[in-house]
Amino acid sequence: MIKNRRLSKSIADAGWGKFVQYLEYKCLKYGKTIVKVPPSGTSQTCVCGAHVPKDLSVRVHKCPECGLTADRDVVSAMVILQRAS
């Protein structure tokens, strides 16, 4: 069903929605807090806050401001973690 262009977005959204429901339930059960962070722009931002534009083909993040060089996905995860704090 996910290959159907009309249904695929709805199915994917429902899957993520259910996943977030489970996370919220587990966090409530164990006294934890869940923070929803919008991921937009995280692959174009450095941990230092500098805007570092790059194409999807570029897999290594190199910041001209602070000199950080790391895998693009790792830096994105660090930025999301920063936004959640």
Percentage of the chain beyond pLDDT 70 is 85
- Where would I find the H helices in the chain? 5-29, 72-84
Provide the pLDDT confidence category of residue 15 given band limits of 50, 70 and 90. confident
pTM above 0.85, yes or no: no
Contacts of 13 (CB under 8 A, 6+ apart): none
Please name which of 49, 51, 54, 48 lies closest in space to residue 72, comparing C-alpha atoms: 54
Report how far residue 28's alpha carbon sits from residue 11's, in angstroms, rounded to the nearest whole number.
26
Report how far residue 13's alpha carbon sits from residue 22's, in angstroms, rounded to the nearest whole number.
14
